[in-house]
Amino acid sequence: MVLKSLKKIKQDIISPPKVGEIVEGQFLSRGKSSLYVDLGAKGVGIIQGREFLQAKEALKNLTPEDVLVVKIIELENNEGYREISLMKASQEMAWERLATAKEQGDILEVTVKGANKGGLLCVMENVQAFLPASQLSPENYPKVEGADPSKIAQELQKLIGKKLKVKIFDLNPDEKKLILSEKAIKKEAQEEELTTYQVGSVIDGTISGVTNFGAFLRFGQNLEGLIRSVELPENSPANTLKIGQIIKAKIIEIANGRVYLSMKDLA
């Protein structure tokens, strides 16, 4: 709900009301199951039905000085009032703020509310949002053996309740789609840091994940690389490596922002 207190409503431009228009209106009176709003030159609006019941608690302490931002959904009902909606105005303005945040590349904070095998469920500006597992940072990406969906879901469940810094990756108000990315925040820093390394560099890193196809190694400030199974020493299969173990590895390939490492021939 969008609600603010003003002494006076200012109408800079007087124009005929239109369905879908977002307008300001001053609280006028309350009925048993409805609320009336003075829309100034645009008439008197009414909030009723399910919306009134859903917002009843939030609206119960309104005073004559309170101004609401509403959306006109019908020009004239059977009683001659403009049908208006608080919720639709709030949702539309929320999507506008989200679009601006995406355009500006703002870094936002969300709390993880749920998880499934595909990623994390969040809420931003009272809008349901999804953070795909593929858009998680290396620290939070679930590194599980064989990419087993059930194991991935179990790992993602551990993130419920955690606060994450994200950017808006994609949004579509018509489809009610809001996709977030944690990985995007570190991308620029990673790309810049990666320029300080080259193929052949031997680095120290910490094992951050072990799978049946190799091991992930975190190094530098923001970087992580993959040691494929074939690049492990013959007598050191991936399952002998432990998360948190510090090792040396050589950079053998840098491609599309990804780093591939080897534990062979470190001299």
Cα–Cα distance between 187 and 193 in angstroms, integer?
10
- How do the domains of the chain map onto residue ranges? 3-90, 105-187, 196-262
When mean pLDDT is compared across 138-142, 182-186, 235-239, the lowest value belongs to 235-239
Cα–Cα distance between 225 and 251 in angstroms, integer?
9
Q: In CATH terms, are 105-187 and 196-262 the same topology?
A: yes
Average pLDDT, the chain: 86
Cα–Cα distance between 85 and 136 in angstroms, integer?
37
Crossing angle of helices 49-59/86-104, nearest 10°? Answer: 70
* pLDDT tens digits for range 57-114: 778 888 888 899 999 998 988 888 999 998 889 899 999 999 999 999 899 999 999 9
DSSP letter (8 states) at residue 81: P
Domain 196-262, CATH: 2.40.50.140
- Superfamily holding 105-187: Nucleic acid-binding proteins (2.40.50.140)
- Answer for the pair 217, 252: CB distance below 8 angstroms, yes or no: no
Find the DSSP H helices in the chain: 49-59, 86-104, 149-157, 183-194
Fold of domain 3-90: OB fold (Dihydrolipoamide Acetyltransferase, E2P) (2.40.50)
Q: Average pLDDT of 34-49?
A: 91
The model carries a pTM of 0.63
Q: Average pLDDT of 141-154?
A: 76
Tokens of 66: 């309170």
- For residue 30, name the pLDDT band (cuts at 50, 70, 90): confident
181 or 187, which is more confident? 181
When mean pLDDT is compared across 72-81, 137-146, 198-207, the lowest value belongs to 137-146
pLDDT at residue number 10: 47
Tokens of 105: 């590349």
- For residue 9, name the pLDDT band (cuts at 50, 70, 90): very low
Beta-carbon contacts of residue 175 (< 8 Å; ≥ 6 apart): none
Pick from 90, 197, 208, 202: nearest CA to 141: 208
DSSP letter (8 states) at residue 232: S
pLDDT at residue number 6: 43
pLDDT at residue number 7: 41
* pLDDT tens digits for range 224-241: 889 998 898 776 665 678
